[in-house]
Structure 1
Amino acid sequence: MIFNTTYKNEDYLFESDQQLGKSFSIMERIRLGGIGSGRLMIHQISPKLKLGKLEFSEIDYGNIELRPKGIIVHYTSKLERFSWVIPYYRLNLYNAQFYSIHANGNFIQFEKNKNYKENKKFLDRMAQRKIDVLDLGYYDE
C-alpha cells in the first residue's frame, strides 16, 4: 500500500501498524544495530508508484525502515513524501545491475553507487531478517 506521508496521515499510521507491527522500541533498535537505511539513489520506479510525478531530470532518493513484520520504503518526489508498506511475505529482493525491491507488481530500483555501498550491511541484514521472520530455514536442509 502506498501512502502520501508529506503530512500526518492517520490511514498510514493505522495500516502500517496493522500490517507490519508497531515500530521497534529503543532497546530493540540498538540490539538490531539500527532500523533505517541511509539515503539510496532511485534509478527507476514503477508507474503505479509515481503518483502524479512529472518527468523532470531531478534525482530522487529513498530510504528503508524495518518493522517487525515487514519494511516501509520512504521516497520523495518533488516536495511530496510517499511511504510504501510491504509485509515480508510479499517482499522480493533482486541484486543485479541495480538493487531492486518488488511487491504487488510494483518495484523500486536503487543505483549501486557510493550510497549503496554504505548501506550494504543494512540491506543484507534486511534480507536476513526476512528469512528469519518467515522461518525459511528449510532451504538449508
Structure 2
Amino acid sequence: MLVNVSYNNKDIIRKIEQEVGKPFSFQERFALDGIGSPKLIIIDSSIHIKNLLILDNNTDSCNIELRPKGIIIRFRSLLETFGLIIPYYKLSLYKTDYGLYTIYRDQYYVKIRADTKAIQKFFTKILGHRADNTPTKIEDL
C-alpha cells in the first residue's frame, strides 16, 4: 500500500497500524538497538514510485522503519512524504552480488544500494525480525 503520510490523517494512520502494527515503545526501540535504517539510496523502483520520485531533482533516497508486523519505506517527493507499507507476509527481499537489495510488495518494488556494513546489518535485522513475527497460519492474519 503506497500512501501519502505527510499529514496527520486518522484513517491513513488506522490503515497503517492495521497492516504493520503500532510503533514500538521506547523500551522496545532500545532493546532492538534502533528501528530505523540509515539513509538508503534508491537505484530503481516500480513505475508508481518512479513517477513520484521524478517530480523533483533531489537525490532519490529513503529510509526504513521497523514495525511489529512489517516495515514502512518512507521517501520524499517535492514537499510530500510517501510511505510504502509492507507487512511481513507480503515482504520479499532479494540481495544481488553487487551489493543491491530489492524489496518487493505485490506490484511495488524498490532497489537499494547497500554499500556499508550498517545497511547490511539493518537488512539482517529485518530478516531476523520477519522470521520471528511472520504468522504461521492463515488464521493469524
**Fold match (TM-score > 0.5):** yes
Paired amino acid for 1:102: Y
Which position in structure 1 is the counterpart of 2:139? none
Task: Report the Cα offset of residue 85 of structure 1.
Answer: 0.7
In structure 1, list runs of 5 or more residues that go unmatched: 137-141
In structure 2, list runs of 5 or more residues that go unmatched: 137-141
Matches of 1:13 and 1:32 in 2, distance apart?
23
Q: Which aligned runs of 4 or more in structure 1 are off by greater than 4 angstroms?
A: none
Q: Report the TM-score, using the length of structure 2 for normalisation.
A: 0.85
Q: How does 1:76-115 map to 2 (within 5 A)?
A: 76-96=76-96, 97=98, 98-114=100-116
Q: How does 1:1-141 map to 2 (within 5 A)?
A: 1-54=1-54, 58-96=58-96, 97=98, 98-114=100-116, 117-134=117-134
Task: Report the Cα offset of residue 45 of structure 1.
Answer: 1.2
Matches of 1:60 and 1:16 in 2, distance apart?
23
RMSD of aligned residue pairs (Cα, Å): 1.9
SS at match of 1:17: helix
Conserved? CA contact 2:40–2:113, under 8 Å: yes
Paired amino acid for 1:101: I
Conserved? CA contact 2:73–2:84, under 8 Å: yes
Paired amino acid for 1:18: Q
Task: Report the Cα offset of residue 113 of structure 1.
Answer: 2.8
Matches of 1:100 and 1:120 in 2, distance apart?
13
The structure-2 alpha-carbon separation of the partners of 1:135 and 1:18, relative to structure 1 and needing over 3 Å to count, comes to closer
Task: Report the Cα offset of residue 12 of structure 1.
Answer: 2.3
The number of residue pairs the alignment matches comes to 134
**Aligned-pair identity (%):** 37
Q: Report the TM-score, using the length of structure 1 for normalisation.
A: 0.85
Matches of 2:50 and 2:130 in 1, distance apart?
26
